[in-house]
Amino acid sequence: MAEMQFLTGAPGFVNGSSEVNKADKEIPEMLQSQSRFFPSKNDQTKSIGGFPRLDTPENLQADLESLCRLQNSAPSSTSPSSAFFHLSPNAFDRLESLLADIRVARFSYDYITQSAEVTMVETTVHNQCNRGIGTILESAVERLSGLVTVFATAGHHEQKEEVDALQTVSRRLRNVYCDGAAAIVVPEKCYRAPDNQFIDRETKFPFPPFVVEISYSQSFENAKKKAEQYSTISDGHIRTVLIVDIEYPGISHMRLHLFATETAPTGERVSREVQSITLFDLADAAPPNPGPLRLFASDVLANDTEIPARLQRPLLFEGNGDGIVHVEIPSEDLRGACLKARELHLKKEEKAKNFWK
């Protein structure tokens, strides 16, 4: 039986334009934290052969930082301040216990591929996008619950059972909550911490139906692979994956990829992209004018209870779902949150550079 383990998410969110001026006070602390990623004159770290030492917390931290420097300097690097390495399953418990003694943002492990990823520090744009989009999604789920309630009491339902089912969905939507970067643990399969997730409080399954991943300079193939991995490790119970792709380090564009898992006529569960939205692209003279992000009850509720057809995301061949109860999130709201995150990130980067002048 799979089980979920809850961990606290990475700290460091800064909310609101009034907080920008606080960056001046944060710069020395930020630089002290980030200075670990640059070799000092007394750096005695030896070649680590592609994987860190697991003897002491100090050696593990030094080796992870060396891996970050080495891997982030590669042209193919897309994840700042993250270390990727091979780890045998019998060493996982040792790594987990040592990581508890050093400060890292999050880590993930795949037992099948025996690959580990440790993120040492999240960027400002990462944290701010995660916070801003998470707040927008929470509000959207709340609005969706209200729409379902209105639909249930509209008076055009012939069967009491239908009304009861709609009211049950509305109640469950009210109980959906955001759980940040709590780890998803499937014994002997994976240990993964998404950037954000939405939990159906009433489900018996230990998986969030909806997860959010903030990524850097991802190709569509990589984004799709991430979504498919979440569906696979949860046997389809992680139904919806929103990937926020940030071009890094220039942050010249941001895009959203929404993937949903559906059951094909063959009975196979298939993850497919249902929406792609370019929030902004500074290299494009014509500003993007995308439609809204659509959210359905089936996106955020577990699939252990039947959801009426009028509340489910339509299948690929069923059209865009205009006749189905759903909520629309204006792309302008999402764009505003991401541009605000970009502005704060660039201001803090500039202040950090000026600090050394």
- Kindly give the pairing relationship between strand 240-246 and strand 253-263: antiparallel
Distance between CA 112 and CA 89 in Å, rounded? 9
Using only C-alpha atoms, the chain has a radius of gyration, in whole angstroms, of 22
Closest residue by Cα to residue 313 from 322, 305, 304: 322
CA 59 from centre of chain: 29
pLDDT at 76: 58
pTM of the shown model: 0.82
pLDDT of residue 355: 72
What is the C-alpha separation between 231 and 155, in angstroms, rounded? Answer: 37
Compute how many other C-beta atoms are within 10 angstroms of the C-beta atom of residue 161: 9
Residue 299: the pLDDT is 96
The per-residue pLDDT for 41 is 37
| Residue 16 to residues 13, 20, 131, Cα–Cα distance (Å) | 10, 8, 11
Tokens of 294: 């659509």
Domain boundaries along the sequence of the chain: 38-122, 125-343
Torsion angle of alpha carbons 342, 13, 134, 240, nearest 10°? 90
Per-residue pLDDT of the chain (357 residues; tens, 9 = 90+): 444 333 333 333 334 444 444 444 443 444 343 333 333 333 333 333 468 999 999 999 999 999 988 887 766 556 678 899 999 999 999 999 999 999 899 999 999 999 999 999 999 999 999 999 999 999 999 999 999 999 988 866 668 888 899 999 999 999 999 988 889 999 888 999 999 999 999 988 889 999 999 999 988 999 999 999 999 999 889 999 999 999 998 999 999 999 999 877 787 888 999 999 999 999 887 777 789 999 999 999 998 778 898 899 987 645 555 678 999 999 999 999 999 999 999 999 888 887 766
Beta strand pairing call for 210-216 and 240-246: parallel
Measured distance CA(221)–CA(223) in Å, rounded:
5
- The Cβ-side half-sphere exposure at 239, using a 13 Å CA radius, reads 20
- Residue 324, pLDDT score: 87
